[in-house]
Structure 1
Amino acid sequence: MTDEPADGPLRTADVARETGYSVQQVRDLERLGVLPPAPRSGNGYRSYAPVHVHALRAYRGLAGAVGPVAARQLLPELRTATLAEAASAVGAVHVRLARERDEALRAQQALRAISAEADVPGCERETDAMTITELAAALGVRPSTLRFWEQEGLVSPERVTSLRARRYGPQAIGAARIVAALRGSGHGIPAVREIMGSLHRIDGLEETRRILQRRLDRIAARTVALLLAGADLAAVVTSAEETTATREGRRRS
């Protein structure tokens, strides 16, 4: 459980101590909009409140889940969103992580099929061919990305109709899933090309297995970071909701 921050007003040093950031980092993150602006006291010093501590803790978890750039963009949006909008935005991050995990698992399944030169017993099989649009949607990429992978020799359609429409069979779909997982784990095109070319070697299969497992481990760590940030995210969202309600009440009175 996350410790409840001390009641405000808090100094910059207090916020730094509560969150594990340095005093300069607290100031920098306020400047970047991660924190709501802190009011100044009569002597000019910043005066923070518990919501600033919650915001920094939430930022740490979000940064671990989606990266610092996306976290810096999302957190200010949560502070100005309605409760329903904020809940939807956080839910979307969970969905994104779940989809990445699902794709990595499917890539593992495809790799096992390649390793055995047959489908893995008990696992779902891709029996139907897919169009480029269908495969792109399944992978969460654009059709142009699949065309680029084709140009780079990473994935090739198993049939191109007379109208130049691409059809991807089970083997091509499996290869595309592995490429998508490798690209998602940060591998560049040359590295992916080398890995895909080595899949029929024992050492190539083992290295790809390790890469995909590391990908799954990293997704799990990101998911845990998001879960740990849950209480602080809720505090940030509800604080914004209470502030909005107070302002509305003042307008009506």
Structure 2
Amino acid sequence: MNTAEVVASTGYSAQQIRDLEALGVIPEARRERNGYRRFSDAHVRALRAYRDLARAVGPADARRAMREIRSVPADQAVALLCSFHARLSMERDQALAARAALEAIRAEASTDAEPVDADSMTITDLSQALGVRASTLRFWEKAGLVSPERIATRAGTARRYHLTAIREARITAALRAGGYRIPDVHRAITAIRELQDVSHSLSALDARLGAIAERAIALLRAGATLADIIESTPET
């Protein structure tokens, strides 16, 4: 088929098709004597797979993958695609951990515990507000769960918990009370820190989880064609 037919079949422009060919996303098209490109059904399938793969993992990684699966041994190509599935799974786990942390805050706020609404607190203030020992807060700090500021005093240094540290301590206290292990709490805290753009909203996190599911479906759609490419690529 000619370029116009591929445009009609895939929705890519002629220039995009030429660019993707130059980038190695699709194999080099056969050239006729007059210089016109001739494409096969395999090119169309590869272009559609690339669209889904780009949706799933981003254009840069998708371009790299489309090139590499034709040039590396089959086991390495398969490992690359598996890493994309693992990445999406990790993103989902992270979003779920962030959601669990926010749910824990809401549950903690609905209890009879003393409210934590100060702009900053000492370790004594925070331990009393959360109902935990100061040594527990120090342990959480050592575990990377809470990051208080250290301020100079006449006696040396003291911890000062500002809003972010107070919030992390609240999350940690709520999750620990709910039976979460320290590694699980650490994952939730990390999720909150890395997902600052959505951590304020449970509905936004739900939307993120939906988007991850859509990307995973796109990756699955691309999978059959990518598997065919890997299987049909001769071993070097």
Task: Work out whether the TM-score is over 0.5.
Answer: yes
Instruction: Name the structure 2 match of 1:223.
Output: 216
- Does residue 99 in structure 1 map to residue 90 in structure 2? yes
Instruction: Rate the CA distance shift 1:77–1:169 in 2: closer, same or farther, 3 A.
Output: closer
Q: Partner of 1:141 in structure 2?
A: none
Aligned residues of 1:97 and 1:223 also touching (Cα < 8 A): yes
Tell me, yes or no, if structure 1 residue 131 matches structure 2 residue 146.
Answer: no
Please give the alpha-carbon distance, in whole angstroms, between the structure 2 residues aligned to 1:93 and 1:155: 33
Aligned-pair identity (%): 43
Q: How far apart, CA to CA, are the structure 2 residues paired with 1:171 and 1:234?
A: 38
- Tell me the SS of whatever aligns to 1:229: helix
Query: Any gaps of 5 or more consecutive residues in structure 2?
Result: 111-138, 146-161, 170-181
Q: Is residue 117 from structure 1 mapped to residue 108 from structure 2 by the alignment?
A: yes
Unaligned runs of 5+ in 1: 1-9, 120-127, 136-151, 159-167, 196-207, 249-253
Aligned AA (1:17): A
Distance of 1:34 and 1:57 partners within structure 2: 11
The whole-number CA distance in structure 1 between the counterparts of 2:211 and 2:105 is: 24
Alignment of 1:187-226 (within 5 A): 187=197, 195=200, 208-226=201-219
**Partner SS state of residue 85, structure 1:** helix
Corresponding residue number in structure 2 for 1:89: 80
Paired letter, 2:208? R
Alpha-carbon shift at residue 14 of structure 1 (Å): 2.2
Residue from 99, 103, 108 that aligns with 1:108: 99
SS of residue paired to 1:106: helix
* CA-CA distance at 1:154 after TM superposition: 4.3
Flag the structure with larger Rg.
Answer: 2
In the alignment, which of 22, 26, 39 is matched to residue 35 of structure 1?
Answer: 26
Alpha-carbon distance in structure 1 between the residues aligned to 2:219 and 2:57: 9
Residue 45 of structure 1 corresponds to 36
Per-residue CA distance 1:162-215 (angstroms, 9 max, x = gap): xxxxxx8987764432222x24xxx3xxx87xx4xxxxxxxxxxxx10111111
**Displacement of 1:155 after TM fit?**
5.1
**Of residues 2, 14, 26 in structure 1, which corresponds to 2:5?**
14
**Does residue 63 of the first structure (1) align with residue 77 of the second (2)?**
no
Which one has a larger percent strand, Structure 1 or Structure 2? 2
Against the structure 1 CA distance between its residues 31 and 155, is the aligned structure 2 distance closer, same or farther, given a 3 Å change threshold? farther
Q: SS of the residue aligned with 1:37?
A: coil
CA deviation profile, 1:103-156 (whole Å, cap 9, x unmatched): 11111111111101189xxxxxxxx95734xx7xxxxxxxxxxxxxxxx97458
Letter in 1 for 2:193: V
Give the SS at the match of 2:9: helix
Normalising by structure 2, what TM-score? Answer: 0.65
Cα distance in 1 for residues equivalent to 2:183 and 2:215? 33
Which residue identity does 1:47 align to in structure 2? R
Amino acid at match of 1:231: A
The offset of 1:236, in angstroms, is 2.1
> Given that residues 155 and 172 in structure 1 are in contact (C-alpha distance below 8 angstroms), is that contact kept between their aligned partners in structure 2?
no
Question: What's the offset of the Cα at 1:235?
Answer: 2.3
Q: How far apart in 2 are the matches of 1:179 and 1:227?
A: 30
Distance in 1, Cα, partners of 2:183 & 2:226 = 43
Corresponding residue of 1:234: 227
